[in-house]
Amino acid sequence: MIHNDDLNDQLGDDHIATSAETPLRSDAFEMSDEEKITSIRKDVENILNTLGLDLTDDSLKGTPNRVAKMFVKEIFGGLHPHKKPGSSTFENKYKYGEMLVEKNITVYSTCEHHLLPIVGRAHVAYISNGTVVGLSKMNRIVDYYAKRPQVQERLTIQIVQELQRVLNTDDVACVIDAKHLCVNSRGIRDIESSTVTAEFGGKFKEDKVRREFLDYIKLETTF
């Protein structure tokens, strides 16, 4: 007989997602950021005290507050819908009809199973159907969805779905290549492996278009 705790541990150790949507409660944003920081600070203090650390030490006394602020304001800031990047688009007046690729977008995220970093690169592309989006907006969308507890498959899907919504087209693709410290620094401790995920929409499901995109992201970028 498999107990729920054992099953949950297995799901987490195998890095299996249960939903394409970030699992948020309906009351997730009833507390203010400052209230969340106060609550999390107490929880971090309890963790460190339980581990036997001396929180009166000058190096450690500020750690609970730093961690709490980091969780709310930084690494999990993408949970809050108010921080979602604006979706301004522009008419494709120059009639550029080929795919646009933004490659090597830095990804800093956090594995939702062990709360350890995910670090890598995202490559995003779209084919305009009459509208375009600013280049930096693509980076901001990646960063917004990365700044939350994540699994890489979900992150890849969310980036594509958001750009499809913003651009009103299915012709969007994303590939992410990232290292997971929950694999690299614990468990199997394989420091060389990385994880690659992809989501292809619309024309990118066609072999020729998909291959063109993958060839673009192989190009060396040197200045």
Catalytic residue among 102, 123, 162, 182: 182
- Which residue among the candidates 123, 162, 174, 180 is catalytic per the annotation? 180
152 as an active site residue: the answer is yes
The yes-or-no answer on residue 161 being catalytic is no
Q: Catalytic pick from 15, 45, 102, 112?
A: 112
Find the helix or strand (DSSP H, E) in which 167 lies. helix 152-167
The one catalytic residue in 152, 162, 174, 199 is 152
Give the Cα separation of 185 and 190 in Å (integer). 7
Catalytic residue among 45, 102, 111, 123: 111
Examine the residue annotation and report whether 3 is marked as an active-site residue of this protein: no
Is 174 a residue of the active site? no
Catalytic residue among 113, 123, 174, 199: 113
Residues 6+ apart with CB under 8 A from 106: 121, 122
Dist. CA 214–CA 207, nearest whole Å: 10
Which one is catalytic: 114, 123, 158, 162?
114
CA distance linking residue 100 with residue 90, whole number of Å: 14
Give catalytic status of residue 82 as yes or no: no
Q: Indicate the Cα dihedral angle 153, 107, 90, 22, nearest 10°.
A: 40
**Pairing outcome for strands 172-180 and 149-150:** unpaired
- What residues are labeled active site? 111-114, 152, 180, 182
